[in-house]
Structure 1
Amino acid sequence: MSRRIAIFGAGAIGGLLGAKLALAGVDVTVVARGPHLAAMRARGLTLISGGERHVVPVRAVEDPAEAGVQDYVIVTLKAHSLPAAAPAIARLMGPESALVTGINGIPYWYFHGLDGPLSGRHVESVDPDGVVWRTLPPAQVIGAVVYPAAEVVEPGVIEHTYGDRFSLGEPDGSRSERGQILSQLLVQAGFKAPLRPGIRDEIWVKLWGNLAFNPLSALTGSTLDRLGTRPDLRAVARTMMLEGQAVGEAVGAKFSIDVEKRIDGAAEVGAHKTSMLQDLERGRPMEIDALLGAIVELGRLTEVATPACDLILALVRERARLAGCY
């Protein structure tokens, strides 16, 4: 099953995918830049996982044109980076290529093929003016929900800390041949990669915690255990999540667990700093609009009130502006 796969944005998650796919014998190209790219070109990609250290030779490029057209392009950027990167990603795509979006939050293609009055609408918070929609046609997309945690501990070195599941799903819920082939390739590489008929529901369940815990952690500096167990903080998170659930249900999502279990699951992760808090501390752009701005936008579109989310969104945007992270 020879397929060409490019990983665009081969940081922590992209590097993990690239290394494990290459170890499984898949034809992989990673698109990266800066010291990380230079290290991979000079020494290969090092993966530390499960107590083992693998050094994997990978084809690493900065210009996607060097890689040529791919069967699958897996994008593992932060959501706010996608509009600027879309023209470069398009250089890896032919008419038969599949674009796999392993990006947090509401994806730009959310309303593609979704029945209802919002069908075919772009999400302004994550795709201003619909630029990504026009550049990367949603018909070529396979949705993905990313569960592993990994970190670039130094240029060219990825440490995988936990998780091995990448859920996949066609926006129309079909069991497509392209989806099944990608699932098989990921399974061969050591991942769990179920092809889900309701990928949007799974996107919402992951987002459900992120829409509250990420901005609250950035505003307070608190870790997941405190946000999920201190009664006052838990109450704020619960209020935001219930608003988010109402928005999700208004656009057709189904929530398979209740809010208390979802909060408990986050608290059990322990003294973990969310990605948004880590980005704030490191002076990097924060994923505010994909995780919370889009919820407020969809609330407006569906006439669902989101007062707590509105309040926290205003505060976390200002926190990010003042830190130069928005």
Structure 2
Amino acid sequence: MKICIFGAGAIGGYLGAKLAQTDAQVSMIARGPHLEAMQDNGLTLMDENGYVNVDVIASDTASFLGPQDYVFITLKAHSVPPVVDKIAPLIGPDTTVVSAVNGVPWWYFYGLDGPHKNTRLASVDPGDAQWNTFTPEKTLGCVVYPAAEVVQPGVIRHIEGNRFTLGEPSGEKSPRALALSKKLIEAGLKAPVRPKIRDEIWVKLWGNLSFNPISALTHATLEQLCTDPGTRAVARAMMVEAQQVAETLGVKFPITVDKRIDGGAAVGAHRTSMWQDLDAGRPMEIDALVGSVAELGDLVGVETPTVDTLLALIKLRAVTAGTA
């Protein structure tokens, strides 16, 4: 099985290091010092079991690798549309593209019955770049739960979590989804194949939608923003609006809003990815995590005033930080 990880940073590196310990032929697309370190010294994973170093095929050029059986895209959501042409050489007639990206996925309405079937989302796929290049029939959904970090070039530290939930847009347990799940499990990961992947996408998005912009604007940790009465109320209002949008689209939430917020508080003094990106001078995942929900609200006729307010604030923060 040939598997390429496009975007071999923290999560992609963790995934690649685990898969490289199986019989899969694993390749990584990266750049800069991280790429050079992997080419010279392999990829090192630090976790609760210690250290492991694995040999991987690392390159900055997809055409060097050719078509794959599976291509994991583990970039930040806004980074994908500009590089679809660079990913394209990895995609052959039988390739499955695994969209392991946060937020509402570009393929969300593919094959979904109802008035919005095959609707394209400009907030996450401007110009339909991914829809036209990857094509939705080749795509497999993935909700990513692990936390990891690049501690130095070529070295990944696993922090917590090992679940990569898979799901077909159609909901079927297809041979390609089951085969990939089996390989991920062989690598020591949890990889359930869910019939309702969109429901799971929304449960994760619930937190990302609210916690990320609030933390970036206030520099409050998850524990702080989820327990402070004022910011908890703002997060709750955003999540209630998102739930109304999602339920209009047929999504069912397995937990309550307050339980989801309590889960965020339990994570502790964690700095969200959007806050980390802001501090590092990197573009934030604003459209995929917040703008997409506002777009969906407009699409289904559900008002999202709190989401819209935070979207305006975090967009201006990106401008003033010079990362827009």
Secondary structure of the residue aligned to 1:10 is coil
Structure 1 letter corresponding to 2:198: R
Deviation at 1:116, TM superposition (A): 1.1
Note if 1:121 corresponds to 2:155.
Answer: no
Structure 2 letter corresponding to 1:251: L
CA distance in 2, matches of 1:130, 1:68: 24
Deviation at 1:51, TM superposition (A): 4.0
1:140: which partner in 2?
A: 138
Deviations along 1:254-287, one digit per CA (max 9) or x if unpaired, are 1110000000000000000000000000000100
- The structure 2 residue matched to 1:174, chosen from 145, 157, 172, is 172
Trace 1:226-305 onto structure 2 (pairs within 5 A). 226-305=224-303
2:97: which partner in 1?
A: 99
1:201: which partner in 2?
A: 199
State the 4+ residue runs in structure 1 displaced beyond 2 angstroms.
none
Deviations along 1:152-174, one digit per CA (max 9) or x if unpaired, are 01111100010010000000000
Structure 2 letter corresponding to 1:128: P
Deviation at 1:191, TM superposition (A): 0.3
Deviations along 1:83-113, one digit per CA (max 9) or x if unpaired, are 0111111110111110001100000100101
2:55: which partner in 1?
A: 57
CA distance in 1, matches of 2:187, 2:322: 39
- The structure 1 residue matched to 2:18, chosen from 17, 20, 43, is 20
Structure 2 letter corresponding to 1:40: M
Deviations along 1:187-238, one digit per CA (max 9) or x if unpaired, are 0000000000000000000000110000000110000001111111111100
Deviations along 1:284-304, one digit per CA (max 9) or x if unpaired, are 010000000000000000010
Deviations along 1:24-51, one digit per CA (max 9) or x if unpaired, are 2211010111111000000000100114
Secondary structure of the residue aligned to 2:122 is coil
- The structure 1 residue matched to 2:6, chosen from 8, 14, 17, is 8
1:186: which partner in 2?
A: 184
Trace 1:34-45 onto structure 2 (pairs within 5 A). 34-45=32-43
- CA RMSD in angstroms comes to 0.7
Structure 2 letter corresponding to 1:65: S
- The structure 1 residue matched to 2:67, chosen from 62, 66, 69, is 69
Structure 2 letter corresponding to 1:176: S
CA distance in 2, matches of 1:155, 1:130: 34
Secondary structure of the residue aligned to 1:74 is strand
1:311: which partner in 2?
A: 309
Secondary structure of the residue aligned to 1:153 is strand
CA distance in 1, matches of 2:322, 2:197: 34
- The structure 1 residue matched to 2:31, chosen from 33, 43, 48, is 33
1:211: which partner in 2?
A: 209
2:322: which partner in 1?
A: 324
1:78: which partner in 2?
A: 76
Unaligned runs of 5+ in 2: none
CA distance in 2, matches of 1:24, 1:265: 33
Unaligned runs of 5+ in 1: none
- The structure 2 residue matched to 1:223, chosen from 221, 224, 241, is 221
Secondary structure of the residue aligned to 1:325 is coil
Deviations along 1:114-162, one digit per CA (max 9) or x if unpaired, are 1111111111001112121111101101000000000001111100010
What TM-score results when the alignment is normalised by the length of structure 1?
0.98
CA distance in 2, matches of 1:51, 1:94: 37
CA distance in 1, matches of 2:25, 2:127: 35
- The structure 2 residue matched to 1:161, chosen from 159, 165, 170, is 159
Secondary structure of the residue aligned to 1:111 is coil
Secondary structure of the residue aligned to 1:158 is strand
Structure 2 letter corresponding to 1:240: M
